[in-house]
Chains A and B, each alone.
Chain A
């Protein structure tokens, strides 16, 4: 079982307490009605799906309940860093 560090609780907790929330930094457009069909479909459905470092959303559902972001390596499953929602994606090496 993975250990995930909640940036709000500042603790490593077992993955059972968390729920995955999809790719991070996919911001909802401020004015969706101004978006073209193409750009809206891109926002809804297109994700990067990288082999390697992936910025993704997690929620500490059985803990503080907060959403936060993590950089995880999709090959090793290793969490490189977690950070609070709203913070920019940190520069990290694999």
Chain B
């Protein structure tokens, strides 16, 4: 294999050799190489296949804007797809593979797509080609499209790395460390401002690292950059972040930065984070993000070996990799000449410089002529020969009437494109700056300053090196001054030997060939050609945002960095409008793709979401309990004995509670302490029930509505003293209820003297439920008379249990005699254990949430959020008894008097009995009047709860049914895929209707 490595020069460490593989083939490179530069040094340009047509592709760029050379890198869980080979730093042992090809990159079956008749893959082909029959979409078309047109594949193993997040604050954030960014950081840093300088490359310098001709302050450009970097490293007030992409600008000078920490290492330290997300808030920001060279849109401009002139310069000057042996430079801008001169000096034969402009003059042209390089003006490249690599070009001349005449062929293996420069205004635009169209140069540049923003150098539309340095110094000084820092002034460095990149072109290059048969690419990544955009306009798309989506130009991982302006120019020309009249698509973050790991940070695995565990958690775990997630809580679901099914365990637990006694952890209930002289009045206003006359020591079932009159929460509330209530809420509702209470207390009733405190985590709640509950706890309790007369149902007493202070509630959510022992949470496990030991003699069983649900349903007790959905009133639930009708006002009261709230056809809570006692309905199932529901007629309601009831020995269900209470005794239907299930409407209470079991 011929080596394309130069004999000397470049920023690579030639003393060390790195081995790597690409598609299984072994190659070598040097430290300092990227994957792309190392492959090019090995003569390899074919690095990918295109998205739609599977055309062979090589890199056209040398940096972040690369649309073609997307590769998968790494092994196992570290495999990362869709990386730009132009940004992947080489390390020893790197394993990379190409994407979107089968069976191999050189022989890809998908390439037949390139031969299908014109039009099949034209704009909107997804919508046109895969139309009928509709049923084929899911099973046939979509899988085929996904396989054929995918980008990389996802890694198949869990990511072994970890990622970190960091907040940072600074006076001046400088984005980009090219000439402008370095001089800005130096000026601001020397002035004493806190500076963060971020650049996506491993070394500071930006385009200076690829510049072989200019000098700054008498030093070669790259040496000046190294000197500047060394000075910045020595400033304590400056933080330099390399390998760090500032990917987005957000409100109020907030920026997202993604830092790659270990991807360039062969064996990363397992303790080190792979990437770090920086969330930076800055006072002033200097944007020095540079510009991206535009490709020229001519037929077959996508062949491997065709690349941007600036990229060729970078490969040669920075990496010592010759991108070819014989080059044709196609240019509309003076920067093409600079590239030609550099390449010639580096040993690449220059076949021709083909300049679209009829007249060319200036220092660049003079330098090319001085080097005896052949220049053709008023000429265009009209086609590229070769398939896996360019072998030559067709050239044409532009006549005075604008038509193109063929003018022969040139052999070459490298074709450079110099279409001028597009400022990277992404961050400026994301800061809500309004770009301005520079009609003379036909480019968008930043307009008025966005908040505290300074766009300097090429991203501000100033492409010259001297301008970039001067603007950087000025912006860095001004930004520091705005932060009150201005100790040291910085002089503007002097520049010699630069060639200003005058000129440029956008849109389709004219040619003489049959437009129906050639493909001139605008968007390389999405395979969008000039004629696709013209077709979209002809089909009626006028908004550039619509043209973008219909043609897919500017989408996917490169977000149109190289294609947007050419696409816009072609659309504008087809519409007969000027470019600014057509508008510009939005510059969305991220600038380059950011991994999910970076955004997730430490929020994965156990840290994905906080986990709340109850005091009995370890005890339940030791007994093999199954757990369920309830909000963030882990709750014991059921306690299976060895080999026992869930159904059997729940049946056993239910029967034990009804026959003897069960133990249940109710600590997850929300708890709020409502205290103050006006506590009772506050409760009167926030709950439907009357509270004034509730005696201390007694409890009441409280119902909370929102202002619209719908049930929001419920719970048992104990009055401990005239000015103190112990409020319980649903497990999931606690934060919502407290916020609702605070809202009314602070904003509507600020005159009430009340204090609210969340005590959910302070109390462990041990529920002992069943006929033998009193016998179990009696030996443990001190200072409380537990007798039925002294402590009736719905009462609360203060005393001690196992020597620990307790708020002992006599309440029941099972319909049995029951106590809920509240003890300080730290004593929860010990008291739980003591109660368990005391209960064993009575045959006590632990039970979980499933049994709790079944027992409460047998009694017709609702669960807010299961029987309610935000549209249910107290009357709908048959809870009118819980409303204090004599109260002048409470939250929701006025709404209950609205006419809609009294309609007879409202959905009301009822019970359902299936005709087949063994059939348990599905929760959420719809209920109809007919076994075969009529299409277009709404359902009568739905099943809210359904269980097999061990107590009744049959299935039971609760449901919300339109006019339900008037339908008791009727037969309705629950249509299911296997046929309708007949049900009888009943009262929503199935066991101990009189409540006699509570009163013992």
Chain A residues in the interface with B (C-beta under 8 A): 1-3, 19, 21, 28, 31-33, 35, 37, 40-41, 44, 57, 59, 61, 65-67, 76-77, 85-86
In the complex formed, the residue of B with least CB distance to A27 is B748
Are B251 and A1 closer than 8 Å at their CB atoms? yes
Interface residues of B in 246-295 (CB under 8 A from A): 250-252, 254, 279, 281
Given A35-B894, A67-B747: A3 and B742 within 8 A (CB)?
Answer: no
User: Complex formed: what's the CA distance from A61 to B742 in Å?
Assistant: 10
User: Complex formed: what's the CA distance from A66 to B742 in Å?
Assistant: 8
Given A28-B707, A33-B888, A33-B894: A2 and B739 within 8 A (CB)?
Answer: no
In the complex formed, the residue of A with least CB distance to B252 is A3
Are B897 and A33 closer than 8 Å at their CB atoms? yes
Cβ-based interface call for B798 (8 A): no
Given A21-B743, A85-B746: A32 and B894 within 8 A (CB)?
Answer: yes
Are B251 and A67 closer than 8 Å at their CB atoms? no
Cβ-based interface call for B213 (8 A): no
User: Complex formed: what's the CA distance from A61 to B254 in Å?
Assistant: 22
Q: Which residues of B contact A35 (CB under 8 A)?
A: 894
Chain B 234-253: CB-based contact to A (< 8 A → 1; otherwise 0): 00000000000000001110
Chain B proximity of A42: nearest CB distance (Å): 12
Q: Which residues of A contact B899 (CB under 8 A)?
A: 37
Cβ-based interface call for B895 (8 A): yes
Q: Which residues of B contact A1 (CB under 8 A)?
A: 250-252, 254, 279
Q: Which residues of A contact B747 (CB under 8 A)?
A: 57, 67, 85
Q: Which residues of B contact A44 (CB under 8 A)?
A: 707-708, 895
Given contacts A28-B707, A57-B747, A76-B432, 16 further A-B contacts (CB under 8 A): A1-B251, A1-B254, A1-B279, A2-B251, A3-B251, A21-B743, A28-B748, A31-B888, A32-B889, A32-B894, A40-B898, A41-B898, A59-B742, A67-B742, A67-B747, A86-B750
Are B893 and A32 closer than 8 Å at their CB atoms? yes
Given A2-B252, A33-B894: A67 and B708 within 8 A (CB)?
Answer: no
Interface pairs (12), CB distance under 8 Å: A3-B251, A3-B252, A32-B893, A33-B888, A33-B897, A44-B708, A57-B747, A65-B742, A67-B742, A77-B251, A85-B746, A85-B747
Q: Which residues of B contact A61 (CB under 8 A)?
A: 739
In the complex formed, the residue of B with least CB distance to A12 is B252
- 7 A-B pairs closest in CB distance: A32-B894, A67-B746, A2-B251, A28-B748, A3-B252, A1-B254, A67-B747
In the complex formed, the residue of B with least CB distance to A1 is B254
Are A59 and B739 closer than 8 Å at their CB atoms? yes
In the complex formed, the residue of B with least CB distance to A3 is B252
Are A33 and B250 closer than 8 Å at their CB atoms? no
Q: Which residues of B contact A37 (CB under 8 A)?
A: 898-899
Max chain A C-beta neighbours (<10 A), residue from B252, B281, B748 = B252
Q: Which residues of A contact B894 (CB under 8 A)?
A: 32-33, 35, 40
Are A33 and B708 closer than 8 Å at their CB atoms? no
User: Complex formed: what's the CA distance from A19 to B736 in Å?
Assistant: 12
Q: Which residues of A contact B252 (CB under 8 A)?
A: 1-3
Q: Which residue in A2, A3, A33, A41 is a CB contact (below 8 Å) of B893?
A: A33
Chain A proximity of B251: nearest CB distance (Å): 5
User: Complex formed: what's the CA distance from A27 to B982 in Å?
Assistant: 50
Are A40 and B895 closer than 8 Å at their CB atoms? yes
Q: Which residues of B contact A28 (CB under 8 A)?
A: 707, 748
User: Complex formed: what's the CA distance from A2 to B254 in Å?
Assistant: 8
Q: Which residues of A contact B251 (CB under 8 A)?
A: 1-3, 77
Chain B proximity of A39: nearest CB distance (Å): 10
In the complex formed, the residue of A with least CB distance to B899 is A37
Given A2-B252, A37-B898: A31 and B889 within 8 A (CB)?
Answer: yes
Chain B 416-452: CB-based contact to A (< 8 A → 1; otherwise 0): 0000000000000000100000000000000000000
Q: Which residues of A contact B750 (CB under 8 A)?
A: 85-86
Q: Which residues of A contact B281 (CB under 8 A)?
A: 3
User: Complex formed: what's the CA distance from A66 to B895 in Å?
Assistant: 27
Q: Which residues of A contact B432 (CB under 8 A)?
A: 76
Chain A proximity of B962: nearest CB distance (Å): 23
User: Complex formed: what's the CA distance from A41 to B747 in Å?
Assistant: 20
In the complex formed, the residue of B with least CB distance to A33 is B894
User: Complex formed: what's the CA distance from A55 to B839 in Å?
Assistant: 59
Are A66 and B898 closer than 8 Å at their CB atoms? no
User: Complex formed: what's the CA distance from A35 to B281 in Å?
Assistant: 49
Chain B 703-722: CB-based contact to A (< 8 A → 1; otherwise 0): 00001100000000000000
User: Complex formed: what's the CA distance from A31 to B889 in Å?
Assistant: 8
Chain B proximity of A29: nearest CB distance (Å): 8
Are B743 and A67 closer than 8 Å at their CB atoms? yes
Given A2-B251, A44-B708: A33 and B889 within 8 A (CB)?
Answer: yes
Q: Which residues of A contact B743 (CB under 8 A)?
A: 21, 59, 67
User: Complex formed: what's the CA distance from A57 to B895 in Å?
Assistant: 23
Chain A proximity of B601: nearest CB distance (Å): 14
Chain B proximity of A86: nearest CB distance (Å): 7
Chain B 692-709: CB-based contact to A (< 8 A → 1; otherwise 0): 000000000000000110
Q: Which residues of A contact B888 (CB under 8 A)?
A: 31, 33
Chain A proximity of B279: nearest CB distance (Å): 8
Chain A proximity of B360: nearest CB distance (Å): 46
Q: Which residues of B contact A86 (CB under 8 A)?
A: 750
Chain A proximity of B254: nearest CB distance (Å): 5
In the complex formed, the residue of A with least CB distance to B256 is A1
User: Complex formed: what's the CA distance from A67 to B749 in Å?
Assistant: 13
User: Complex formed: what's the CA distance from A28 to B894 in Å?
Assistant: 11
Chain B 728-768: CB-based contact to A (< 8 A → 1; otherwise 0): 00000000000100110011101000000000000000000
User: Complex formed: what's the CA distance from A61 to B739 in Å?
Assistant: 9
Chain A proximity of B166: nearest CB distance (Å): 14
Chain B proximity of A2: nearest CB distance (Å): 5
In the complex formed, the residue of B with least CB distance to A67 is B746
Max chain A C-beta neighbours (<10 A), residue from B254, B747, B750, B889 = B747
User: Complex formed: what's the CA distance from A40 to B281 in Å?
Assistant: 45
Q: Which residues of A contact B893 (CB under 8 A)?
A: 32-33
User: Complex formed: what's the CA distance from A70 to B681 in Å?
Assistant: 30
Q: Which residues of B contact A41 (CB under 8 A)?
A: 898
In the complex formed, the residue of A with least CB distance to B892 is A32
Interface residues of B in 293-324 (CB under 8 A from A): none
Interface residues of B in 577-597 (CB under 8 A from A): none
Q: Which residues of B contact A3 (CB under 8 A)?
A: 251-252, 281
User: Complex formed: what's the CA distance from A41 to B254 in Å?
Assistant: 41
In the complex formed, the residue of A with least CB distance to B890 is A32
User: Complex formed: what's the CA distance from A33 to B251 in Å?
Assistant: 44
User: Complex formed: what's the CA distance from A37 to B901 in Å?
Assistant: 12
Chain B proximity of A78: nearest CB distance (Å): 8
Q: Which residues of A contact B895 (CB under 8 A)?
A: 40, 44
In the complex formed, the residue of B with least CB distance to A45 is B708
Q: Which residues of B contact A40 (CB under 8 A)?
A: 894-895, 898
Q: Which residues of B contact A33 (CB under 8 A)?
A: 888-889, 893-894, 897
In the complex formed, the residue of A with least CB distance to B894 is A32
User: Complex formed: what's the CA distance from A28 to B899 in Å?
Assistant: 20
Chain B proximity of A75: nearest CB distance (Å): 10
User: Complex formed: what's the CA distance from A3 to B888 in Å?
Assistant: 42
Chain A proximity of B335: nearest CB distance (Å): 38
Chain B proximity of A53: nearest CB distance (Å): 17
Max chain B C-beta neighbours (<10 A), residue from A32, A37, A86 = A32
Chain A proximity of B474: nearest CB distance (Å): 28
User: Complex formed: what's the CA distance from A44 to B897 in Å?
Assistant: 13
User: Complex formed: what's the CA distance from A3 to B281 in Å?
Assistant: 10
Q: Which residues of A contact B254 (CB under 8 A)?
A: 1
User: Complex formed: what's the CA distance from A31 to B743 in Å?
Assistant: 18
User: Complex formed: what's the CA distance from A91 to B898 in Å?
Assistant: 37
Chain A proximity of B737: nearest CB distance (Å): 14
Are B746 and A66 closer than 8 Å at their CB atoms? yes
User: Complex formed: what's the CA distance from A8 to B661 in Å?
Assistant: 52
Q: Which residues of B contact A77 (CB under 8 A)?
A: 251
Chain B proximity of A38: nearest CB distance (Å): 10
User: Complex formed: what's the CA distance from A34 to B507 in Å?
Assistant: 70
In the complex formed, the residue of A with least CB distance to B738 is A65
User: Complex formed: what's the CA distance from A32 to B163 in Å?
Assistant: 54
